[in-house]
Amino acid sequence: MAEQFARLREKFEGNRARIAVIGLGYVGLPLAIRFTEERFPVMGLDVDEDKVSTLKGGKSYIAHISSVKIGEALAAGFEVTADMAAVATADVIILCLPTPLGQHREPDLSFVLRTLDTIIPHLRPGQLISLESTTYPGTTDEKLKPRIENRGFVVGEDIFLVYSPEREDPANPDFSTRTIPKICGGITPHCAELGRLLYESIVDQVVPVSSTRAGEMTKLLENIHRAVNIGLVNEMKIIADRMGIDLFEVIEAAATKPFGFVPYYPGPGLGGHCIPIDPFYLTWKAREFGLHTRFIELAGEINSSMPEYVLSKIADGLNEQGKPIRGSRILVLGIAYKKNVDDMRESPSVAIMELLRDKGGEVAYSDPHVPRFPKLRAHQFELSSVPLSADTLADYDAVLLATNHDGFDYELIRDNARLIIDTRGVYRDAAPHIFKA
């Protein structure tokens, strides 16, 4: 035990540990690049051959990660492969894999567990495994640890296991992988110590927690906090709209209070890989203890109903012009789930597009970050982004501002669209053709 622990600790302290990052998406790719910046030998693994070939060619497929960054990482020795057997050469294996919800809102750990089962035959004594995927408390010690130990390893002695949740905020210029504090909890004290040493090599602050379960719960609390508060402000938006009050004005006024208030802003619904999904991991696990997560479920109901609310505002706006949704041409501005990114996972814009299509609307979209509508598991549109001009804007019966990208020319949109449905509070001036949603 002491020998494997001491050997890994020495490699971490000298930045000589070989790092394997499995899953080269919005979490794994920036993490791998960060390790290369500190001169660790790094390899990235992904089952998507297109991603592997793109990275090998020095190109990026994520908007806020430049191809220059990829080229610099390759020059520093970054290797990319789809061969999971390559983990045998790694000292550290970091799992950055999706954890979606199943059909009945139950946790789907299949990506994590299938990958672990694939790499287990290639594990060897003296390796550290870190799970970064968001999941319910107990996943690391109930699901990963037994699988590893069933192969004859002893976690904490010859294989070390930690949980360290990702905290990426894509396209946020104020925070980076290095500057965001890193939570880390281990199965044993030796696991925790090695996890702390590893992440201290690449981030400014590591925040140790007492266990992997505490780390898993920390990540869920962060995202549940946001989901509940967004649900609250979305409900407030509906109330304020009915009362003829501008909620954005109210939020800005309340935010002047120097204590006790944190501003959250309403929108057309929740999107992204975390906040619409992660709270239900705790909801599912809580049932095992006979508990019902009423706040979480209520916030989920409100947030998931927002696309229907936006649909009603589109219908109201068109009705003012004597038009039904059926047969109307509607341009959706922004289909990524948040501003200035190309990530469409769980985007409320797509849910609204489907509702409009179901009502007989002719739907198009414009998004500078998504030139072509991608193939999604649950949503299909054969569309490409419409370039904005005075003529194209005037050609649509309604323009829905769903995601407020900085790249949009809002003056051009205001001056040329026949009808604007604004879900983001961009247009604060009163105008007959602007509807607040």
Could you give the residue numbers annotated as active site?
274
Q: Contact at 8 Å (CB) between 94 and 124? A: no
Q: Are 437 and 309 in contact (CB under 8 A)?
A: yes
Query: Going by DSSP bridges, is the β-strand pair 159-163/182-186 parallel, antiparallel, or unpaired?
Result: antiparallel
Sign of CA dihedral 336, 271, 61, 32: positive
For residue 287, how many other CB atoms are within 10 A of its CB?
Answer: 12
- Distance between CA 166 and CA 132 in Å, rounded? 5
Q: Are strands 434-436 and 92-95 parallel, antiparallel or unpaired?
A: unpaired
How far is it, in rounded angstroms, from Cα 110 to Cα 266? 33
Q: Contacts for 32-38 with beta carbons within 8 Å, 24 or more apart?
A: 32/73, 32/78, 33/65, 33/69, 33/70, 33/73, 33/78, 33/177, 34/177, 34/178, 34/202, 34/203, 35/201, 35/202, 36/72, 36/73, 36/76, 36/77, 36/78, 37/76, 37/202, 38/201, 38/202
Rounded distance between C-alpha atoms, residue 124 and residue 101, angstroms: 32
